[in-house]
């Protein structure tokens, strides 16, 4: 039985369709990444899965429990970290932990143990009496995670847990996610950082309420299977883009830093004498290599296609 099983899930706000016929499954112990631009419907989907929003139609089973039928049953099986910081800022670190442990009904012995765990995980030992408002971003997010898993839920929903957090803290945070998944916790996480998405077992890409791509990172990259990407370094990137766009074999170009990426329509990059043509156009080609598609390429490509439809 999958930990999360979503079929034709739809949510409207009035006439607006925020989540449109979304279906997917997440296996136990999997890290499942949810990608999508702002307003794509990621948070709305998660809120439905947490029993916080009623689906307009479709079904979702979380831990085998139907979110429409038994929202409270779902809530007992999950941990949730919402997109906004959701601890009490005027409470101390310890008071926040105590409060949520109390709501989850932890016994005194279990509380002592989980409190130690949460403090250690967040790296906040010795700072129990600090007012939460004064914590820096990375600490806050780790404390929020700690509070969300005090009751050791088998399924965890993390909505942009690393928003506004520095790279080192982000890496620390992902180490915690990996650790939890290693213990068998199923994790559904949304992010805008594509390097984080690479760490997910599978990813789903949402756009305007619809799921436009799903699979392992390698699988979603298959959209470029017959379309090799060549990375060109030249002295004049903008002129090179124009020259590339003019070639019939080139589907599209984009700027990646100082390099230009060109997506070809032919399956084999070697068939197209790109370098010769650029030189003929009077450009100095410093290097030209075929590169594997990045998740960013995939993301932009899928959104472009979905938008064109």
Residues of this chain that interact with Mg ion (CB under 5 A) are 42-43, 83
Residue 145: closest CA among 48, 63, 79:
79
Residue 189's Cβ-count burial label (10 Å; 0-12, 13-18, 19+) is buried
Q: Is 51 in the site for another protein (CB under 8 A)?
A: yes
Among 9, 19, 31, 53, binds another protein (CB under 8 A): 53
Cβ proximity of 187 and 265 under 8 Å: no
Q: Which of ligand ATP, Mg ion, another protein, none does 38 bind, CB closer than 5 to 8 A by kind?
A: ligand ATP
Q: Is 258 in the site for another protein (CB under 8 A)?
A: no
Among 3, 4, 35, 44, binds ligand ATP (CB under 6 A): 44
Residue closer to another protein (CB basis): 154 or 215: 154
Query: Cβ of residue 142: shortest distance to ligand ATP, in angstroms?
Result: 20
Q: What is the spatial distance between Cα 185 and Cα 234, in angstroms, rounded to a whole number?
A: 48
Site string for another protein, 205-244 (x = CB under 8 A): ----------------------------------------
Q: Is 39 in the site for another protein (CB under 8 A)?
A: no
Which residue shows structure tokens 């002592």? 112
Among 43, 96, 186, 294, binds ligand ATP (CB under 6 A): 43
Site string for another protein, 114-133 (x = CB under 8 A): -----------------x--
Residue 188's Cβ-count burial label (10 Å; 0-12, 13-18, 19+) is buried
Which residue shows structure tokens 């926040």? 96
Neighbours of 108 (CB within 10 A): 8
Residue closer to ligand ATP (CB basis): 22 or 283: 22
Q: What is the spatial distance between Cα 288 and Cα 294, in angstroms, rounded to a whole number?
A: 17
Site string for ligand ATP, 68-87 (x = CB under 6 A): ---------------x----
* Per-position b or e across 78-93, b if 16+ CB within 10 A of its CB: bbbbbeebebeeeebb
Among 90, 218, 225, 258, binds another protein (CB under 8 A): 90
Query: Cβ of residue 127: shortest distance to Mg ion, in angstroms?
Result: 29
Q: What is the spatial distance between Cα 164 and Cα 267, in angstroms, rounded to a whole number?
A: 40
Q: Is 15 in the site for ligand ATP (CB under 6 A)?
A: no
């Amino acid at each position: 039985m999958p930990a999360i099983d979503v079929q034709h899930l739809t949510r409207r706000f009035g006439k607006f369709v925020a989540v449109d016929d979304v279906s997917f499954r997440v296996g136990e112990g999997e890290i499942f990444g949810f990608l999508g631009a702002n307003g794509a419907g990621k948070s709305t989907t998660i809120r439905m899965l947490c029993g916080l929003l009623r689906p307009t139609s479709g079904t979702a089973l979380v831990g085998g429990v139907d979110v429409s039928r038994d929202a409270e049953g779902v809530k007992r099986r999950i941990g949730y970290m919402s997109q906004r910081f959701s601890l009490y800022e005027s409470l101390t670190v310890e008071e926040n932990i105590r409060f949520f442990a109390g709501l989850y009904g932890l016994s005194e012995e279990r509380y002592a143990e989980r409190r130690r765990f949460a403090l250690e995980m967040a790296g906040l030992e010795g700072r129990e009496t600090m007012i939460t408002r004064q914590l820096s971003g990375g600490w806050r997010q780790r404390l929020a995670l700690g509070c969300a898993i005090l009751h050791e839920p088998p399924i965890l929903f993390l909505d942009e847990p690393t928003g506004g957090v520095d790279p080192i803290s982000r890496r620390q945070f992902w180490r915690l996610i990996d650790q939890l998944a290693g213990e068998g916790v199923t994790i559904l996480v949304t992010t805008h950082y594509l390097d984080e998405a690479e760490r997910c077992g599978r990813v789903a890409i949402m756009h305007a309420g619809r799921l436009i791509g799903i699979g392992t990172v390698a699988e979603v990259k298959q959209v470029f299977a017959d379309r090799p990407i060549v990375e060109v370094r030249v002295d004049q990137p903008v002129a090179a883009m124009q020259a590339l766009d003019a070639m019939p074999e080139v589907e599209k170009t984009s700027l990646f830093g100082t390099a230009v990426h060109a997506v070809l329509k032919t399956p084999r990059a070697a068939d197209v004498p790109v370098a010769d043509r650029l030189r003929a156009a009077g450009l100095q080609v410093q290097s030209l290599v075929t590169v594997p598609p990045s998740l960013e390429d995939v993301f932009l490509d899928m959104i472009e296609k979905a938008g064109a439809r």
